Amino acid sequence: MLDLKKAIPKRLLEEKNISLVASLINLILITFIVLPIFAILVKAFISPRGISFENFIIFWSNSYYREALYATFMAAIFTVITTSLIGIPLAYILVRYDFPGKSFFSILVLVPLIMPPFVGALGLYKILGISGVVNIILVNILHVLDKPVNFLYGDMLLFALSDYDKIYLPYGIILINTLHLYPLIYLNCAASLSNIDPSLEEQAENLGSRGFHLFRTITFPLMRPGWMAGAVLVFIWTFSDLGTPLIVHYFKMLSVIVFFKLYEITAGNPSPVSYVIGFIMVIVSFITLFISRKYISLSRYVMMFSGGRHVRRLYRPSGVKLILVYFFLITLSLSALSPHIGLTLVAFSKKWVLTLIPEQFTLDNFYYVTPLAAPFIFRSFIYSLIAAGIDIILGAFIAYIVSRKLFIGSDLLDLIATIPLAVPGIIFGLGYWALFYKVPLLDPLSYTPIILTISYSMRRMPYTVRAAYAGLLQIDEALEEASINLGATRMKTFKKITLPLLVMNLFAGGILSFINALIEVSTTFLLVVTDKYAPTTWFLYFRALADPRRGLAIASAVGFLFVVIIAVALFVTNKILGSKMGSVFRL
């Protein structure tokens, strides 16, 4: 490990406290972010017969694993394509066009953000599932199809490399993830697009360019950093998502294999295949992160405004163009809302069989599930609150150290603090098993609450770091220098001057950490073994949905509570952060 004391330049040694804090933070981040990843990478090469590639051979010689690998890649690649096909035009329309109802649609297209994706999948059961509304319309009303099709579960053969190597396209996963993830592409592209200096496009027009040529040669290349940042998020998310495949019962995904293999670990017999998959996920994440590194680091947040006029380019579409814009936005909004509608209807339905909407509505599902879920919800809140608290403290210090370059390792700190954005939750779960199994106080088996809370806080730390960093950029360093000049130490200045100015940002970032800890699926499912310590997401899948009598209805009721909590929390955050809100969902 790095010798941190030596890394501190002499002049900063006077600021002992700040160095101490920086070292401590580095230690924490290395222990809980870097080392677990290392552990996976190492364990992938350890087999009963020593260090070898044997595990990889075992993985590769199994055609089911190979197909899962292909399918996972296909899901990720195609989801990037579909979300881009939605997100890029959406960004262009909402940034560049002016039309009645624009602000309404700007909010509506973001509704997927207030729903955890696995809850969204649940909501789509009765819309796109085998007995869903779409099938009822297509089969029973329009008679387009002979028998219902499950749009959520299933795949289609893209092509076969050999009899044992078939590449499938898991369209259900792609569909659900597309509906959920397009806002990431949209938000990132919109941010890039509105930062483009108008003169760059005017110059091209001046030289004779217009229409699609202008978009292809100037506009898109200039918004590419934003698109790439969004695409990286979408890719890694889909590549490693566990919740959605589990909900739709599509098990030919790497994440699901890791999850099912977990029982071999807890039985004291770690599955080498899990670590091989972990290895693949880490490498894929890091390659993606590395490729887009220059677009991801915190310092990217400094806007690139050059001098000159900033007259926004805004068009008013009319005629056919306007109709197309509305058609696109209305279709998209309806699709984006369908999981919410489905979820709400199911949660409040008494019976819903083969009709377009439920015949009877009731609160019974809530009455039934609330007492059962109460202890789980309580635990969720405790874990998430503590995790958010840790994030607020860490976020404030990390952002401060990175933005003011107080520490020679601040770039490293920036990099490590960015890792959780790119590294999937599965990796955290798996890595913690690999590293902390049977370690006192941290063992996932016996100390679940501790390690779960730590995993939540590490996973979601980027939210507070980013929120604090955005705030720090707006605080003039001279305010701090004035305080230091008057004799205060760095630490004292941070406490008395900087922190009070940052409180709102930290609070907002903390809320986002809290929400995301609340809805965390993959680390939760990997680290929790019994319902003694389990939080709500675990309850939703393993208890509520598993209820043979009315699993879907009560699971939807729990999902509905989730959505309400998130909506409220996001509303509060939005009130605090205002227009800076979007930056939290961006890379």
Which one of 8-16, 177-185, 192-200, 254-262 is the stretch in contact with another protein (CB under 8 A)? 192-200
Q: How far is the CB of 214 from another protein (least distance, A)?
A: 8
Q: How far is the CB of 192 from another protein (least distance, A)?
A: 12
- Distance of CA 427 to CAs 15, 321, 332, Å? 36, 46, 33
Which one of 31-39, 208-216, 524-532, 539-547 is the stretch in contact with another protein (CB under 8 A)? 208-216
Q: Which is nearer to another protein, 48 or 308 (by Cβ)?
A: 308
Among 194, 199, 362, 583, binds another protein (CB under 8 A): 199
Q: Which is nearer to another protein, 199 or 362 (by Cβ)?
A: 199
Q: Are the beta carbons of 514 and 524 closer than 8 angstroms?
A: no
Q: Are the beta carbons of 346 and 123 closer than 8 angstroms?
A: yes
Tokens of 78: 């195609």
- Residue owning tokens 């007492």: 371
Residues 273-292 that bind another protein (CB under 8 A): none
Q: Are the beta carbons of 258 and 278 closer than 8 angstroms?
A: yes
Among 96, 166, 224, 300, binds another protein (CB under 8 A): 224
Q: How far is the CB of 15 from another protein (least distance, A)?
A: 35
Q: How many residues bind another protein (CB under 8 A)?
A: 22
Q: Which is nearer to another protein, 208 or 500 (by Cβ)?
A: 208
Spell 61-92 as b/e; 16+ CB within 10 A means b: eeeebbbbbbbbbbbbebbbebbbebbbebbb
Q: Are the beta carbons of 470 and 301 closer than 8 angstroms?
A: yes
Residues 299-338 that bind another protein (CB under 8 A): 306-309
d(CA 469, CA 463) in angstroms, rounded, equals: 10
Q: How far is the CB of 201 from another protein (least distance, A)?
A: 9
d(CA 179, CA 123) in angstroms, rounded, equals: 12
Q: How far is the CB of 447 from another protein (least distance, A)?
A: 51
Is 209 a binding residue for another protein by CB under 8 A? The answer is: yes
Q: How far is the CB of 303 from another protein (least distance, A)?
A: 14
Among 210, 405, 496, 575, binds another protein (CB under 8 A): 210
Among 52, 140, 203, 360, binds another protein (CB under 8 A): 203
Q: Which is nearer to another protein, 159 or 305 (by Cβ)?
A: 305
Q: How far is the CB of 185 from another protein (least distance, A)?
A: 20
Among 9, 100, 208, 487, binds another protein (CB under 8 A): 208
Q: Which residues pair with 351 in a beta bridge?
A: 360
455, 436, 454, 456: which is closest to 446 by C-alpha? 436
d(CA 56, CA 273) in angstroms, rounded, equals: 8
Q: Which is nearer to another protein, 226 or 559 (by Cβ)?
A: 226
d(CA 113, CA 563) in angstroms, rounded, equals: 10
Is 200 a binding residue for another protein by CB under 8 A? The answer is: yes
Q: Which is nearer to another protein, 209 or 489 (by Cβ)?
A: 209
- Distance of CA 276 to CAs 182, 313, 430, Å? 30, 50, 11
38, 35, 70: which is closest to 162 by C-alpha? 70
Q: Which is nearer to another protein, 1 or 207 (by Cβ)?
A: 207
Is 67 a binding residue for another protein by CB under 8 A? The answer is: no
Q: Which is nearer to another protein, 162 or 306 (by Cβ)?
A: 306
Is 205 a binding residue for another protein by CB under 8 A? The answer is: yes
Which one of 101-109, 196-204, 466-474, 525-533 is the stretch in contact with another protein (CB under 8 A)? 196-204
Is 194 a binding residue for another protein by CB under 8 A? The answer is: no
Residue 405 — left, alpha, or beta (φ > 0 → left; ψ -120 to 50 → alpha)?
left
Is 222 a binding residue for another protein by CB under 8 A? The answer is: yes
Pairing of strands 166-169, 156-160: antiparallel
Q: How far is the CB of 289 from another protein (least distance, A)?
A: 22
Tokens of 8: 């501190």
What single string gives the DSSP state of each residue in 449-514?
Answer: HHHHHHHHHHHHHHHHHHHHHHHHHTS-HHHHHHHHHTT--HHHHIIIIIHHHHHHHHHHHHHHHH
Q: Which is nearer to another protein, 217 or 485 (by Cβ)?
A: 217
Q: In the chain, how long is the greatest CA-to-CA distance?
A: 81
Q: How far is the CB of 99 from another protein (least distance, A)?
A: 19
Is 1 a binding residue for another protein by CB under 8 A? The answer is: no
Q: How far is the CB of 83 from another protein (least distance, A)?
A: 23
Residues 370-399 that bind another protein (CB under 8 A): none
Q: How far is the CB of 90 from another protein (least distance, A)?
A: 23
Is 218 a binding residue for another protein by CB under 8 A? The answer is: yes
- Residue owning tokens 């099912």: 260
d(CA 45, CA 16) in angstroms, rounded, equals: 41
Among 52, 140, 217, 360, binds another protein (CB under 8 A): 217
Is 359 a binding residue for another protein by CB under 8 A? The answer is: no
Which one of 76-84, 165-173, 218-226, 482-490 is the stretch in contact with another protein (CB under 8 A)? 218-226
- Distance of CA 284 to CAs 141, 194, 240, 458, Å? 45, 31, 10, 20
d(CA 514, CA 338) in angstroms, rounded, equals: 26
Q: Tell me how far apart the terminal alpha carbons of the chain are, to the nearest angstrom.
A: 28
Q: How far is the CB of 301 from another protein (least distance, A)?
A: 18
Q: Which residues contribute to the site for another protein (CB under 8 A)?
A: 197, 199-200, 202-210, 213, 217-218, 221-222, 224, 306-309
